[in-house]
A = this chain, B = another copy of it.
Amino acid sequence: MPVITIRIGKGRPIDKKRAVVEAVTKAVAETLDVKPEWVTILIEEYDRENWATGGQLHADKFGPGYGKAGVDD
């Protein structure tokens, strides 16, 4: 009964979430031999002012808005 948490930058549309939970559930079920219906996934979204690497907020590093311009958050 795996419980998966996915922490990502805030702002992705629901179709991306739909795609990631489907793909991750399949990946976990197949590699760990559990039934897909036993896999729980929780998505936790973080504002860029709540995520930092190297001591710097991502809001300062990448700008405040969410976007895909070369930024993998």
Q: For this complex, into which size category does the number of interface residues on chain A fall?
A: 35 or more
With A3-B3, A18-B60: A54-B36 Cβ-Cβ less than 8 Å = yes
**Is the beta-carbon distance between A35 and B1 smaller than 8 angstroms?**
no
With A3-B7, A20-B31: A55-B42 Cβ-Cβ less than 8 Å = no
A44 partner residues in chain B, CB cutoff 8 A: 50
Of the candidates B16, B27, B51, the one whose C-beta lies within 8 Å of that of A20 is: B27
Q: How far is the CB of A55 from chain B (nearest CB, A)?
A: 3
Residue of B nearest to A59 (CB): B14
* Chain A interface residues (CB < 8 Å from chain B): 1-9, 12, 14, 16-46, 49-57, 59-60, 68, 72-73
